[in-house]
Structure 1
Amino acid sequence: MPSGVEKLTGINVRTSTLVHFGEAHYLAGGSCGPRTQQEFQLVLMMTGSAKVLVDGEMIIVRERQCAAMYPGKVEFWQFSPDLPVRHTWVALKLAAISEDRLRRIELSPRLAPVTNRLLSIVELGLGTSLSGSTERWLEALAVSAVECFLLDSTTKVASEPPDAVRGALRYMEAHLQESFDLAVLAASVGMSAQHLTRMFRQHLGDSPMHYLWRLRAERGATLLEETSLRVSEISHRTGFQSPSHFSRLIQSVYGLSPRELRISSRQDGPDRLRGVLP
C-alpha cells in the first residue's frame, strides 16, 4: 500500500540488512500513511504527539512515549495539529528477533515511557557511521533497544510536558518570524528563563533557543521544498538574521545548501521515504 507523507521537514536514517534507525521532523498537522508495516518497529515520540490508526484501532502516542508497531498492520499517523513533531525509531526484520523475544513482544503493552537508556541506545544507532563493518553493531543496538522496551513497558507511561512548555512552543510557532530572546519567551509563560530552560531540558531534551532555531530551520526547509520563494524571503519569514545565517544553519542541519535541498526534494519527492518512515 502506498504511503503519503505531509509536512515532513527533515529525516536521518541509518540502515543495515536487518535493522534501521531513523529520525524525522514534521510541522504541526503533518501525517504519514496509510502504509502496511513491514517490520517490528519502536517509535519514540520526542516532541508533540500522534494519533495512529492501526487496522481500524486508534492509538494515541504522547510526548516521551514509545509505541510498538507490528508487521502486517496498516497504519496511518496523524501528528499534533498545534505543535511540531520530532520522533525517532528503530525497526527490525523478524529474522533479527529471537523466538523467545518475539513471544515476549506479543505479550507486552503497546506503549512504554521513553527512558534515558532507551533514548541513549537509539541515539547511538543514529550516530553510527555507515559501513560494512557496522552492520552487526547496528543489529546489536536494535536488539538492545527491544529488550529495553520490554523491560520498560511495565513502567508507568510518561506524561505530557507541562503547560508552560507547551505554551512556549505555541509562542515560538506564532512568533517565528520575529526576533525575541529567552527572557521574552520565558515571560510569555510567566516564569524565569532559568526555570523554563530546566523544564525544556527535562521534557524535550533541548534548550528553548536551540529548539527555536531548529524549528526555524525546519520551517525554512519546508518553504524551500514547497515554494519558489527566494532564499532571502524565506530567511526573513522564518526569523533569520540574514540569508547567509539561514544558509549556514540549513547546511548544518541537512548537510545541503538551500539550493541543493530544493533540487533534491523536487527530484526525489516523498517517494524517497517509502518503506522507511513510520
Structure 2
Amino acid sequence: MRLPPIDLSRENTFGELTYETGGQYGPIMGDYLAFIVVHIGSATIEADDRVTRLEAGQCAFSLTHERYNYIAQEGTFSHVSWCDGRPQNAGWLYQEAGKFAPFIDATPQVQTLMQLGVDLGIGDRDSRSGLREALTNALLNAYIYEAGVLAAEKPVPQTILRARRYLDEHFAGDLTIEHVAEQVRVSPQYLVSAFKKHMGMTPARYLWRCRVDYGAHLLQRTGLSISEIAYKVGYKNPYHFSRQVKLAFDCSPTELREQARGA
C-alpha cells in the first residue's frame, strides 16, 4: 500500500539523541507525526490514548491529534534517532493510521532512511527542507511496507488475536488463563504456548503489562490516589501495583507521578 505524499513543510526534522540517565521529550500538543528508532535502551511512547513500550532494535510510528510524549526509562542509558513533523491536509492519513502497527523491528531499509535524514541535520527551514520531506514520506511508506511484510511472514492466528483483544478490553477484571481460553474456545495449554509464540510473551505477562502500563498512564494523567489506581486496573492490593511499577519503570508510583508533573 503506497500512500499519497503528505505535506510536512512546517517543522519537519530529523535528529538523534543520547539519554545518559533517562529523560523525556514532550509533551507535544496538536497534530504531530513521529518516527522513533531505539538503538540502545528502552522507551515508552504516549500517543493520545495509546501507550507503547519499545526496546532496542524497534521502531515506532505515531500520529497524534492531541498529545505526544516520549519517555526514556529513568536511570538507564539510551540512544535514539527520530523524524517528526506537523502534517498538513492529511485527514486521510489519520483515518488510515489505526491500520498501521504502532511499532516494528527497525529493518535495514527503515534505518537507512532514518540515517539519511539525520545526516542532513536538524534544521527545519533551509534549502534541504524539500529533501527532508521526501525522506519522511519515503520513511512512512517503508514503515507501512515493512510492517505488512513482517505481518505476512508471521501470521497470527485469529484465536490469538481475539485473546489479545479480550485481554486489552478486560485487563482490569479478575481474569484467569482458563477463563480467557474459554472465551476464545481453545485449551489453556494451547493458549499459553501459541500466545507466547506469536506475541513474544505469555498471556499472563501480557495481562500484567496492560495493567501496569494503564496504571502508569493514570498516575501521570489523573489525580487518583495510588490505591484507587491499583484497584481500578486490576491489582488486588496497592503494594503489588507499586512493586510492578518499580520493576517496569525503575521508580515508585509517587516518583513516576512527580516526574510527569515536573515535565
Q: TM-score range by the shorter chain?
A: 0.5 to 0.7
Residue of structure 1 aligned with 2:44, choices 24, 35, 39: 24
Q: Secondary structure at the match of 2:195?
A: helix
Distance 1:266 1:27 in 2: 17
Q: Does the 8 Å CA contact 1:26/1:85 hold for their aligned counterparts?
A: no
The amino acid across from 1:244 in the alignment is Y
**Residue in 1 aligned with 2:197?**
202
Q: Secondary structure at the match of 1:24?
A: strand
**Residue in 2 aligned with 1:125?**
none
Instruction: Indicate how the Cα distance of structure 1 residues 249 and 5 shifts in structure 2: closer, same or farther if over 3 A, else same.
Output: farther
Q: Secondary structure at the match of 2:44?
A: strand
Q: Does the 8 Å CA contact 1:183/1:193 hold for their aligned counterparts?
A: yes
Distance 2:162 2:83 in 1: 37
Deviation of 1:192 after TM superposition, in Å, equals: 1.0
Q: Does the 8 Å CA contact 1:200/1:208 hold for their aligned counterparts?
A: yes
Instruction: Indicate how the Cα distance of structure 1 residues 200 and 51 shifts in structure 2: closer, same or farther if over 3 A, else same.
Output: farther
Distance 2:194 2:168 in 1: 18
Residue of structure 1 aligned with 2:180, choices 176, 185, 191: 185
Q: Does the 8 Å CA contact 2:60/2:102 hold for their aligned counterparts?
A: no
1:26-175 equivalent positions in 2, closer than 5 A: 29-30=49-50, 43=59, 80=98, 92=115, 110=142, 111=144, 157-158=152-153, 161-175=156-170
Deviation of 1:228 after TM superposition, in Å, equals: 0.8
The amino acid across from 1:226 in the alignment is R
Q: Does the 8 Å CA contact 2:47/2:63 hold for their aligned counterparts?
A: no
Instruction: Indicate how the Cα distance of structure 1 residues 20 and 200 shifts in structure 2: closer, same or farther if over 3 A, else same.
Output: same
Instruction: Indicate how the Cα distance of structure 1 residues 183 and 25 shifts in structure 2: closer, same or farther if over 3 A, else same.
Output: farther
TM-score norm. by structure 2 comes to 0.53
Distance 1:22 1:250 in 2: 15
The one-character-per-residue Cα deviations of 1:203-252 (angstroms, maximum 9, x if unpaired) are 21111110100110001001101111111110101111210000000000
Q: Does the 8 Å CA contact 2:172/2:234 hold for their aligned counterparts?
A: yes
Contiguous gaps of at least 5 residues in structure 2? 1-10, 12-26, 65-80, 88-92, 121-137
Distance 2:185 2:194 in 1: 13
- Give the fraction of aligned pairs with identical amino acids, expressed as a percent: 24
**Residue in 2 aligned with 1:103?**
none
Residue of structure 2 aligned with 1:232, choices 224, 227, 248: 227
Distance 1:157 1:207 in 2: 22
**Residue in 2 aligned with 1:213?**
208
Q: Secondary structure at the match of 2:201?
A: coil
Q: Does the 8 Å CA contact 1:216/1:238 hold for their aligned counterparts?
A: yes
**Residue in 1 aligned with 2:73?**
none
Instruction: Indicate how the Cα distance of structure 1 residues 209 and 86 shifts in structure 2: closer, same or farther if over 3 A, else same.
Output: farther
**Residue in 2 aligned with 1:257?**
252
Instruction: Indicate how the Cα distance of structure 1 residues 42 and 256 shifts in structure 2: closer, same or farther if over 3 A, else same.
Output: closer
More moved, 178-187 vs 246-255: 178-187
Distance 1:235 1:31 in 2: 18
Q: Secondary structure at the match of 2:59?
A: strand
The amino acid across from 2:59 in the alignment is V
Distance 1:238 1:160 in 2: 30
Q: Does the 8 Å CA contact 1:251/1:257 hold for their aligned counterparts?
A: yes
Q: Does the 8 Å CA contact 1:182/1:209 hold for their aligned counterparts?
A: yes
The amino acid across from 1:210 in the alignment is R
The amino acid across from 1:242 in the alignment is N
Deviation of 1:157 after TM superposition, in Å, equals: 4.1
